[in-house]
Amino acid sequence: MGRQQSNQRADLYSRITDTIIAELEQGVRPWVRPWVKPWNSGPVAGGITRPLRHNGQPYSGINVLLLWSEAIARGFASSTWMTFRQAIELGGAVRKGETGTTVVFASSFMRRETSESGEELEQDIPFLKSYTVFNLDQITGLDERFYDIAPVQDPLIRIGDAGRFFANTGAMIRHGGTAAYYVPARDYIQMPAFDAFMDDASYVAVLSHEMTHWTASPRRLDRDLSRYARDRSERAREELIAELGSCFLCADLGIVPELQPRPDHASYLASWLEVLGCDKRAIFTAAAHAQRAVDYLHHLQPDVDADHGEGEGDGDHDHEEEAA
């Protein structure tokens, strides 16, 4: 990778991290706002979804955070995004004067190199690029199907589906006490009694957080939790992963919890600010781990939707892949 490419990549990490840090410093978890206070009109009226591509496929990883935050900041009602060229190909046009939103594409390529001893080695070289998308609200002339408003599912039905989703994972979930946590050594999740939560959706949100921790087991995704209890920064990183995993999973399950700030919210914000300030790639890494956790939970379901998650790229960044 050349020096210019390396500098561009570092600048991209910095710009995105700085945006998130600015919101954290105001006491806000920017990726949480969209599902605590969801869009109130358009295709997601009364519900919530991940940001969607022009073909209905959901974004994942860091791009979910970027597009959720942008939608709230700019008041977009739609959850659908596409590139300038995609809008034209679909018969529409971006309105004059509209500005796009930066998302990222991450992948890697193999490169052969010869060592000093003459041995041929293969290196997996990662790369990160940015491109621009526009919200459906910024585009005119598209087919009516893009503006169809889906019927809103009854909240109780959504909670029922969430319950079946968690049961299908096979996780051991115990109830009692006043705290929610995951116990790695004994591989179970402890939750307060169901009635202790303000509403069913809040229960699901907290359980989604703990289920993300549950995926860290060596038998599953093998995230290292050995220093969680004694290293503040490692704990902050894992809690950030779990928080993002909860956001992503609640969106997938159609859950809109009315969560109250946790007693430890301020300390978590401080820890996240410290981690993000020291490591510009931390939010990218956390989002990638959260995405893998949620994908893992989806793959434990008996009828996995073949269209869930990432689509296959066609070599054109306009038909976007997902960021790590």
Say yes or no to pLDDT of 94 above 70.
yes
Lowest mean pLDDT among 41-45, 144-148, 173-177, 306-310: 41-45
Query: Is 295 inside any structural domain?
Result: yes
Query: Is 315 inside any structural domain?
Result: no
Q: Are 273 and 235 in contact (CB under 8 A)?
A: no
Say yes or no to pLDDT of 7 above 80.
no
**Whole-model pTM?**
0.72
Query: Is 103 inside any structural domain?
Result: yes
Q: What is the dihedral of CA 6, 15, 295, 109, to 10 degrees?
A: -10
How does DSSP classify residue 81?
E
Which three-class secondary structure state does DSSP give residue 46? Answer: coil
Query: What pLDDT is recorded for position 8?
Result: 60
Q: Which domain holds residue 226?
A: 3-299
Query: Is 166 inside any structural domain?
Result: yes
Query: What pLDDT is recorded for position 158?
Result: 61
- Using pLDDT thresholds of 50, 70 and 90, give the confidence band for residue 37: very low
Q: What is the mean pLDDT of residues 51-64?
A: 90
Residue 122 main-chain phi, psi, to 5 deg: -110, 130
Task: Count the neighbouring beta carbons within 10 Å of the beta carbon of residue 39.
Answer: 22
Which three-class secondary structure state does DSSP give residue 43? Answer: helix
Mean pLDDT for all residues in the chain: 78
Query: What pLDDT is recorded for position 311?
Result: 35
Residue 57 main-chain phi, psi, to 5 deg: -80, 135
Query: Is 91 inside any structural domain?
Result: yes
175-197 exposure pattern, b = at least 16 Cβ within 10 A, e = fewer: eeeeebebebeeeebbbeeeeeb
Lowest mean pLDDT among 140-154, 207-221, 229-243: 140-154
Residue whose tokens read 């995230």: 223
CA-nearest of 38, 4, 49, 8 to 249 is 49
Residue 145's contacts (CB-CB under 8 Å, 6 or more residues apart) are: none
Q: How far is CA 109 from the centre of its chain?
A: 24
Query: What pLDDT is recorded for position 40?
Result: 34
Q: Are 300 and 70 in contact (CB under 8 A)?
A: no
Query: Is 324 inside any structural domain?
Result: no
Query: What pLDDT is recorded for position 112?
Result: 77
Residues in the chain: 324
Say yes or no to pLDDT of 268 above 60.
yes
Domain tally for the chain? 1
Residue 2 main-chain phi, psi, to 5 deg: -70, 165
Query: Is 314 inside any structural domain?
Result: no
Say yes or no to pLDDT of 220 above 50.
yes
224-255 exposure pattern, b = at least 16 Cβ within 10 A, e = fewer: ebeebeeeeebbbbbbbbbbbbbbbbbbbbbb
Q: Rounded to whole angstroms, how far apart are CA atoms 286 and 249?
A: 15
DSSP, residue by residue, 99-163: --EEEEEEEEEEEEEE-TTS-EEEEEEEEEEEEEEEEGGGEES--GGGGPPPPPPPHHHHHHHHH
- Using pLDDT thresholds of 50, 70 and 90, give the confidence band for residue 214: very high
Cα dist from 271 to 41, 108, 268, whole Å: 35, 31, 5
Q: How far is CA 279 from the centre of its chain?
A: 19
| Range of 25-29, 161-165, 257-261 with top mean pLDDT | 161-165
Which runs of consecutive H residues, i.e. helices, occur in 138-262? 155-169, 200-214, 232-253
Q: What is the mean pLDDT of residues 270-285?
A: 82
CA-nearest of 31, 263, 42 to 147 is 42
Residue 282 main-chain phi, psi, to 5 deg: -60, -40
Query: Is 312 inside any structural domain?
Result: no
- Using pLDDT thresholds of 50, 70 and 90, give the confidence band for residue 142: very high
